[in-house]
Amino acid sequence: MEVTDLSGVGPKLAEKLLALGIRQVTDLLFHLPSRYEDRTRIHPIGSCQPGQRVLIEGRVEHSAIVRGRRSMLVVMLSDGTGRITLRFFHFRAYQRQQLSAGTLVRCFGEIRAGYQGLEMIHPSYQRLGGDGEEEVADRLTPVYPSAEGLGQKNWIKLTDQALALMRRGVLELEELLPDNLLGQLNLQPLSDALDYIHRPPADADVAALVMRDHPAQKRLALEELLAHNLSMQKLHRLQRARIAPQLRPCPGAEPEFMRRLPFALTGAQQRVSAEVYRDLESDKPMLRLVHGDVGSGKTVIAALAALRASDNGFQTAITAPTELLAEQHFRVFSDWLEPLGISPVWLSGKVTGKKRTEALHRIGDGAQVVIGTHALMQKGVEFNRLGLVIVDEQHRFGVDQRMDLLEKGRTERQQAHQLIMTATPIPRTLAMTAYAGMDVSVIDELPPGRKPVKTVVMSNQRRADIIRRVATACATGQQAYWVCTLIEESDAIEAQAAEDVANVLRDELHGLNVGLVHGRLKPSEKQQVMESFKEGHIHLLVATTVIEVGVDVPNASLMIIENAERLGLAQLHQLRGRVGRGSSQSSCVLMYNPPLGDLSQQRLETMRQTTDGFQIAEKDLELRGPGDVLGTRQTGMLLFRVADLARDAGLLEIIPDAANTLLQHHPEQTEKLIHRWVGDVARFAGV
């Protein structure tokens, strides 16, 4: 049954659904709520905490249109237990009338801490009759992931119909999990699970649902994780069936490169580069993940692979997820390769006009090494003989993008080798799902002479001490980072905060050169600041988390992280990895805003106790709470509908075996599972 058979679905809506991979009515059933809103209960305003998304009810005390650079409608609401300000930046004049003093209003939205107490920005609201007896919702309200032009009301109408058909047994909803697995895990029937997740009943275990820890969710999560594992395996199988250029040792620039390299490879680097070489020499495309903690020296592995390609007359594309990191690679590779007569091409979204035309021309002409951001993956970038694709920190990319880049090197049967480098220490069970079907090399040794970073945790009440510490360190020729973190999503606000901090520090630390880098600077400005820091002209670099990934200034040996309690472990580890890169003893001050919550305390304590990325990753998986975005951040390519990598860590254990059993005994089910949860994998593989 197709969605067009449902009422209210015309060609336009059908097209929008199709863009989301929804064609059949059953596809709708697998379009699952990403979260729930609890509108079943009215919260006293006085008990609301910032961050909560809640239903409140109160009387308007006054409302006004405040004119400023942007006018805004401001409404003060009170329910006897407390007051809250509602703010509307987009509003119509009549809303002021609607929300005039004395009106009884029910609102749903996120509580925020404003300058004058609690606030809600753009709540959804409903005016109540005089007695306020309107019923609250009797079920949790599902919130569906959506797209432009598709509102929540659409989703409710569509899923209502699909669920009704399912309950009547009209839809063909096939059980795809083998019996033994169902029995072993004591799983409920698929249709029950779907029903529950789309329309949790009034007495649902709300906490479990919100935590994605309900048996109905577990049941679907298992399917989804299996489907991902199977799809990655399939994708990689399809790719391995292709032919890749054999990049054999041959006379070229490599020996000269090794002669010029200012250090000897560590044992781990030698082992991993040998594994990479072996793959490159084969006529099967390499699919290798190089996994090495921050500072373990992955870049040189990439350079060796790129040289092998260029010595064989093939091009290498190197991409990184942020402009800053890509630029840094460009500089390192230019320094290393230019003396060998290879000058890398730079391409990012910000390269435009004549420069872009020139870059594209050189790429099409066969430039040996091309470095850039995701701009490399876009249309219009044509390689001549792409033999190797290197993706750094690929957990930031989607699998789609990696495949887009790969497409550029593909002919009928040929395709480029792929080397993926990640510093995110991924627990083994996770790796087996996220990277199923890839070969993994681990650089498990740091370059010699590194001393583990000493970490201390300090309250921001000791800010003055901390500033003195920076002054002392810089006076003895060390350099330092001061990292400003904000929870605000906005680059602009974050940049402003960093600027303020920089100004204050400039005042307090005269004699020191304080630099500033944030996401709002132009690439050339960023580069200038980084260059000047690298050369030692800047003593203290105030930065936002833009420096998180990959920045390499070995002389920087002190890092202060403000509001460290707000960051997840993975991010703290990445940040701290910017120091401890030289041979002097480095330290890191995790500065927090008291009082510390229990989880934050455990996180900071973990950071204090260990610098081992794997231990930190394990702890991270253990500690991560619901709603924490790290789950998706950590892998990027895995945007799950129900599975939650922290909650479902236990399930991950059984996935590889279950996947193999399915492949061996029920291969036809695997295709259906992939279709149900992931969609058309083959499109990634270009078949």
Q: Kindly list the residues in this chain that would bind ligand ADP in the complex (CB under 6 A).
A: 263, 265-266, 269, 292, 294-300, 423, 447, 552, 554, 581
Asked whether position 297 contacts Mg ion by CB under 5 A, the answer is no
Rounded CA-CA distance 118/112 in Å is 6
DSSP 307-359: HHHHHTT-EEEEE-SSHHHHHHHHHHHHHHHGGGT---EEE-TT--HHHHHHH
Which of residues 527 and 574 has its CB atom nearest to Mg ion in the complex?
Answer: 574
DSSP annotation string for 36-58: EE--SSBPPGGG--TT-EEEEEE
Which range binds Mg ion by CB under 5 A, 15-23, 454-462, 548-556, 563-571?
548-556
Tell me: cis bond preceding 123? Omega within 30 of 0 counts.
no
Chain center to CA of 188 = 32
Q: What is the C-alpha end-to-end distance of the chain, expressed in Å?
A: 27
Q: How far is CA 191 from CA 40, 175, 196, 280, in A?
A: 25, 9, 9, 48
Tokens describing residue 683: 């499109």
Nearer to ligand ADP, 265 or 504 (CB): 265
Find the shortest distance in angstroms from Cβ 307 to ligand ADP: 15
User: Of these partners, Mg ion, ligand ADP, none, which one is at the site of residue 247 (CB under 5 to 8 Å by kind)?
Assistant: none
Of these partners, ligand ADP, Mg ion, none, which one is at the site of residue 265 (CB under 5 to 8 Å by kind)? ligand ADP
Q: From the centroid of its chain, how far is CA 73?
A: 35
Contacts of 567 (CB under 8 A, 6+ apart): 485, 545, 561, 575
CB nearer to ligand ADP: give 24 or 328.
328
608's CB contacts (< 8 A; 6+ apart) are 455, 456, 457, 590
How many other β-carbons are positioned within 10 Å of the β-carbon of residue 400? 11
* Residue 26 or 418 having the CB closest to ligand ADP: 418
Please tell me the distance from the alpha carbon of residue 430 to that of residue 664, in angstroms, as a whole number. Answer: 22
**Cβ within 8 Å of residue 201, ≥6 positions away:** 139
322 binds, among Mg ion, ligand ADP, none (CB under 5 to 8 A by kind): none
Q: How far is the CB of 299 from Mg ion (least distance, A)?
A: 5
d(C-alpha 653, C-alpha 644), whole Å:
14
The only residue of 550, 568, 631, 636 in contact with Mg ion, by rule CB under 5 A:
550
CB of 391 to Mg ion, least distance (A): 12
Q: What is the DSSP letter of 408?
A: T
- In the bound state with ligand ADP, the residue whose beta carbon lies nearer, of 28 and 305, is 305
State the binding partner of 243 from ligand ADP, Mg ion, none, CB within 5 to 8 A by kind: none
Q: Least distance from C-beta 449 to ligand ADP, angstroms?
A: 7
Q: Of 300 and 569, which CB lies nearer to ligand ADP in the complex structure?
A: 300
Contacted by 242, from Mg ion, ligand ADP, none: CB < 5 to 8 Å by type? none
Closest CA to 459 of 588, 614, 564: 564
DSSP labels, 641-664: SS--TTTTHHHHHHHHHHHHHHHH
Min dist. Cβ of residue 229 to Mg ion (A)? 28
Q: How far is the CB of 188 from ligand ADP (least distance, A)?
A: 45
294 in Cβ contact with 423 (< 8 Å):
yes
Q: Please, which residue, 52 or 584, has the CB nearer to ligand ADP? A: 584
- Out of Mg ion, ligand ADP, none, what residue 295 binds, judged by CB under 5 to 8 A for its kind, is ligand ADP
The smaller minimum CB distance to Mg ion, of residues 437 and 550, is found at 550
Residue 89 interacts with which of Mg ion, ligand ADP, none, CB < 5 to 8 Å by class: none
Residue list 3-22, contact with Mg ion (CB under 5 A): none
CB of 143 to Mg ion, least distance (A): 37
- Considering only the stretches 21-29, 83-91, 484-492, 550-558, report the one whose residues sit in contact with Mg ion under the rule CB under 5 A: 550-558
The distance of closest approach from Cβ of residue 507 to ligand ADP in the complex, given in angstroms and rounded to an integer, is 33
Closer residue to ligand ADP (CB): 10 or 448: 448
425 makes contact, choosing from Mg ion, ligand ADP, none, with CB < 5 to 8 Å by partner type, with none
| Contact residues for 76 (Cβ-Cβ < 8 A; gap 6+) | 60, 61, 62, 63, 83, 84, 85, 86
List, in sequence order, every residue forming a beta bridge with 58; answer none if it has no partner. Answer: 105
Distances (CA, A) of 277 to 273, 305, 306, 389: 6, 7, 11, 14
Length of the chain as a residue count:
687
For residues 298 and 676, which CB has a smaller minimum distance to Mg ion in the complex? 298
Which ranges of 435-534 does DSSP label H, i.e. alpha helix?
463-475, 491-508, 523-534
Helix, strand, or coil here: 241?
coil
Residues in contact with Mg ion, counted by CB under 5 A, come to a total of 1
Which CB sits closer to Mg ion, 142 or 550?
550
For Mg ion, the closer of residues 27 and 548 by Cβ is 548
Q: Which partner, ligand ADP, Mg ion, none, binds residue 394 by CB below 5 to 8 Å per kind?
A: none
Chain position whose Cβ is nearest to ligand ADP = 297
Max alpha carbon distance in the chain (Å)? 88
Tokens coding 171: 């839809």
Residue nearest to Mg ion (CB): 550
Q: What is the smallest separation between the CB atom of 426 and ligand ADP, expressed in angstroms?
A: 15
> Is the Cβ of residue 142 or residue 292 nearer to ligand ADP in the bound state?
292
Which entry of ligand ADP, Mg ion, none binds 9, CB below 5 to 8 A by partner kind?
A: none
Residue closer to Mg ion by CB (options 9, 303) is: 303
Shortest reach from residue 392's CB to ligand ADP, in Å: 7
Question: Is the CB of residue 85 less than 8 Å from the CB of residue 117?
Answer: yes
315 binds, among ligand ADP, Mg ion, none (CB under 5 to 8 A by kind): none
Q: Which residues pair with 317 in a beta bridge?
A: 370, 389
**Minimum distance, C-beta of residue 261 to ligand ADP, in the bound complex (Å):** 8
**CA 295 from centre of chain:** 21
Instruction: Look at residue 297 and give the partner it binds from ligand ADP, Mg ion, none, a contact being a CB closer than 5 to 8 Å depending on partner kind.
Output: ligand ADP
Q: How far is the CB of 629 from ligand ADP (least distance, A)?
A: 23
Q: What sign has the CA pseudo-torsion 390, 265, 571, 465?
A: negative
CB 445 to ligand ADP: min, Å: 9
At its nearest, how many Å lie between Mg ion and the CB of residue 450?
15
**Interacting partner of 294 out of Mg ion, ligand ADP, none (Cβ under 5 to 8 A depending on kind):** ligand ADP
Instruction: Give me the residues paired with residue 290 across strands.
Output: 421, 441
User: Cβ 389 to Mg ion, closest distance in Å?
Assistant: 16
Task: CB nearer to ligand ADP: give 269 or 587.
Answer: 269
Q: What, of Mg ion, ligand ADP, none, does residue 232 touch, CB below 5 to 8 Å by kind?
A: none
| Binding site residues, Mg ion, CB under 5 A | 550
